[in-house]
Amino acid sequence: MSTTQPLRSPQETLKLLYEVSREFNSALDLRTVLQRVLFLTMRNIGAHSGSIIVVDERGEPIESAIIHGSNMLDQTTQQLRITTEQGLAGWVLRNQTAALVKDTSKDPRWLQRPDDAIDRTGPKSAISAPLAAREQLVGVITLVNSTPGKFGRQHLSLVQAIADQAGVAVLNARLYAESKRQTRVMSALAETASVINATLNLEEVLQRIAVQTRQALNVQAASLALLNDDADELIFRAVEGGAGAQLVGTRLKVGEGVAGWVAKTGQPVIVHHAHSDPRFHAETDRRTGFYTSAIACAPILQEGKIIGILEAINPQHGHFERDTLMVLNGICNLAGTAISHAQLFVQLQAAHQRYRDLFEDSLSPIVITDMEGRILEVNRQAIETSGFSQEALSRMSIMDLHEVDKKHTGAYLERLTQTDQILIYESEMHALGDVTIPVQVLARRVSIEGVPHIQWILRDITERKHIDRLRNDLISMIYHDLRSPLSNIISSLEVLRSMLPGDDDAIESVVQIAERSTERIQRLTNSLLDVHRLESGQPILSQEIVGLAPLVDEAIEAVRLSLDAKQQSLEVAIPSDLPGLYVDKDMIRRVLINLLDNAVKYTASQGRIRLEARMADGMIEVSVIDTGPGIPLAEQEHIFHKFTRLRSRPGSKGLGLGLTFCRLAVEGHGGRIWVKSRVGVGSRFSITLPVAPLESLLAHSARKTSTPEQQKGKKYEQH
């Protein structure tokens, strides 16, 4: 047994510790500090080789200094891991206690290597101590002397003293290294962000991501694949280095290969030995002739959903750095947003193009002006309709192109600035060569790239104007050409009646039929004319005071024949204290006839009809209630418009003019008309009519002594 090597005096020991602490405080980078301390310790303790391994909080080796004789060795983290897992250093780390090994060939804690064989360097003695600081294990120092038994307790104490000194310094250096590493990661990511965000072209964004990944991770190749719409296949979209362009466009099933595994699980992964990993898909290498040794791969997410993967292949130094996944995940995060932006941009451009197409292909001329009316843009149709060239139009104002209706827009178009609503009016376009084209104008403020503009649609209504004119001509033709022959028939019938013998029922009923039919035609022509007059805004002139009851009586008389024929019951309920109406008697009689006529027409034989009246908000409200088929809610609004007939009842006769006339007549009197109806139950048409004003009532009662006859609950029963 060889004797332990004598140690130096306490002074020398103190000097050593002092030097060690000075080295640690010299603030060089971690590796250099480790090397110097190790060297100093080895020399002072008489070791032939030694190592200091620094571990992170998970016990993973992150830095080391290894000296063999006078050689500095370089080991990969992979090799270090074996040492810290299996060797003496590993035992010390796990147990957090120093160890003294007098003979390495006899201590199971020593990891026997080929070098330890008898015919090589043979058994040795060793010391190993943990480096700890603030209750944290930060590393391990191991020293070896080539002769067994050379180290003793004193050496162990000295090494422990050095280890204690080293602990805090290593911890600080480790934190410093960590922050430096993070700075490196951050700056790599910042650079990547600025590069990939500098474009919105999707293909370019993808390619730049691949380029940046390759640079930031210092790998041979980087590739990016996106999931297809069904999310069951990855399609390689950008490849930088390695197999390069020949891989672009190739597909990989989700779940297939390392990339497919990442796309499926959403887990980032590092595969150090691709060919021995069961997930590896060797087919791609076979096809491209590229040899994949190690892969780092991470998912690209968009709003929590996997949209693709990014992979880095074959690190240039043979192994991936510790922060590979951190950097790769960082780039993937950036990629997710950059891809989103590029995709949104594509969509935006498509929407823009769609709008452009709509604008260009619109059948109506569209003109975009600034808020002062200067023409900025016109579509094809505007050029075609106006006859002006685009160039000429761009020098014009909207006021030159058409007669702006200042009542609507305000003198300086200011009303368009104030409202978001569409202003609609009719006007004339001044086309090339003094041609005027009737147009309907729809003007609206629009925002283009955040700046307010005015969009003018100038719809050509030449055709409609023409039809309007035709219809007006037709109406006045009917009116003028029917009126005089009609009055002739009526007067002839009157003469005929005066000549009747009086006792011949057959002749009497024939004349009666002729009389009623002519009355009907007269009513129709009068209503047609009224519709025409009221629509053009002419006021009602011949208003007089009249009782509702006598007017209702006359109206009932007019529908009596149909009422009798269908054996319907009509109940009339008019309160006796109702004031007089102030209306155009003939017109309102025709309104009542129309409502009653519809009620009779649409109610089944033997059905019930009711007319009732009441005061409502200072007006007289008259309602005609039937038990007919009712009117669907969706159509209730339309039936008061000209020539509207219910779509749900296509077979019925009529022009669809009756209710239009009623509406115009009632509204002309300042009243309202509406319907309440339930399909299968019946309809209730109501109108409101004005009451005679007090002064005219007084004047009226001074002229007449008797008030108009009023009826209450009078029943007309036909069976």
Pairwise CA distance, residues 591 & 585, whole Å? 10
Pairwise CA distance, residues 138 & 172, whole Å? 10
Cα dihedral 584, 587, 591, 593, rounded to 10, equals 120
**Closest CB to ligand ADP among 456 and 602?**
602
**Other C-beta atoms within 10 Å of 617: how many?**
7
Give the helix/strand (H/E) hosting 446.
strand 435-448
Helices 202-217 and 153-196 pack at an angle, to 10 degrees, of: 160
Let me know: does 293 contact 274? Beta carbons within 8 Å.
yes
- Minimum distance, C-beta of residue 677 to ligand ADP, in the bound complex (Å): 7
Pairwise CA distance, residues 329 & 41, whole Å? 41
Pairwise CA distance, residues 59 & 84, whole Å? 9
Instruction: Name the 3-class secondary structure at 145.
Output: strand
**Closest CB to ligand ADP among 516 and 645?**
645
The residues, ordered by sequence, that sit 6+ positions from 275 with a Cβ below 8 Å of its Cβ are 282, 292, 293
Q: Are strands 569-573 and 608-616 parallel, antiparallel or unpaired?
A: parallel
**Closest CB to ligand ADP among 22 and 647?**
647
In the sheet with 366-369, reading across from the earlier edge strand, the strands are 375-378, 366-369, 451-460, 435-448, 423-431
- Minimum distance, C-beta of residue 591 to ligand ADP, in the bound complex (Å): 11
- Minimum distance, C-beta of residue 436 to ligand ADP, in the bound complex (Å): 36
Tell me the one-letter amino acid at 97.
T
**Closest CB to ligand ADP among 104 and 598?**
598
**Closest CB to ligand ADP among 129 and 596?**
596
Using alpha carbons, select from 347, 303, 348, 308 the residue that is nearest to residue 209: 308
- Minimum distance, C-beta of residue 512 to ligand ADP, in the bound complex (Å): 24
- Minimum distance, C-beta of residue 558 to ligand ADP, in the bound complex (Å): 15
β partners of residue 532: none
Pairwise CA distance, residues 635 & 638, whole Å? 5
- Minimum distance, C-beta of residue 568 to ligand ADP, in the bound complex (Å): 12
CA 556 to chain CA centroid, Å, is 60
- Minimum distance, C-beta of residue 427 to ligand ADP, in the bound complex (Å): 31
Backbone angles phi, psi at 683, to 5 degrees: -130, 155
Let me know: does 140 contact 54? Beta carbons within 8 Å.
no
Instruction: Name the 3-class secondary structure at 48.
Output: coil
- Minimum distance, C-beta of residue 656 to ligand ADP, in the bound complex (Å): 4
Instruction: Name the 3-class secondary structure at 115.
Output: helix
The residue number with the shortest CB distance to ligand ADP is: 654
- Minimum distance, C-beta of residue 536 to ligand ADP, in the bound complex (Å): 20
Backbone angles phi, psi at 545, to 5 degrees: -85, 130
Using alpha carbons, select from 31, 37, 88, 39 the residue that is nearest to residue 67: 39
- Minimum distance, C-beta of residue 606 to ligand ADP, in the bound complex (Å): 16
**Closest CB to ligand ADP among 534 and 692?**
534
Q: What is the DSSP string of 73-96?
A: E---HHHHHHHHHHSHHHHHHHHT
Radius of gyration, alpha carbons of the chain? 51
Q: What is the DSSP string of 303-333?
A: TTEEEEEEEEEEETTSS--TTHHHHHHHHHH
- Minimum distance, C-beta of residue 603 to ligand ADP, in the bound complex (Å): 7
Pairwise CA distance, residues 671 & 624, whole Å? 16
**Closest CB to ligand ADP among 4 and 636?**
636
What is the greatest pairwise CA distance in the chain?
Answer: 167
**Other C-beta atoms within 10 Å of 245: how many?**
10
Residue 675 zone, left/alpha/beta (φ > 0; ψ -120 to 50; rest): beta
- Minimum distance, C-beta of residue 569 to ligand ADP, in the bound complex (Å): 16
- Minimum distance, C-beta of residue 517 to ligand ADP, in the bound complex (Å): 17
- Minimum distance, C-beta of residue 601 to ligand ADP, in the bound complex (Å): 7
Let me know: does 37 contact 166? Beta carbons within 8 Å.
yes
Pairwise CA distance, residues 448 & 523, whole Å? 56
Pairwise CA distance, residues 139 & 128, whole Å? 11
- Minimum distance, C-beta of residue 600 to ligand ADP, in the bound complex (Å): 9
- Give the dihedral sign, CA 401/407/409/414: positive
- Minimum distance, C-beta of residue 497 to ligand ADP, in the bound complex (Å): 30
**Closest CB to ligand ADP among 52 and 666?**
666
Tell me the one-letter amino acid at 533.
R
- Minimum distance, C-beta of residue 593 to ligand ADP, in the bound complex (Å): 11
Q: Would you tell me which residues interact with ligand ADP (CB under 6 A)?
A: 598-599, 602, 626, 628-629, 631, 639, 644-646, 649, 652, 654-660, 683
Backbone angles phi, psi at 99, to 5 degrees: -135, 140
Pairwise CA distance, residues 432 & 438, whole Å? 14
Using alpha carbons, select from 577, 576, 566, 645 the residue that is nearest to residue 609: 566
- Minimum distance, C-beta of residue 660 to ligand ADP, in the bound complex (Å): 6
Total residues found in the chain within this entry: 719
**Other C-beta atoms within 10 Å of 496: how many?**
14
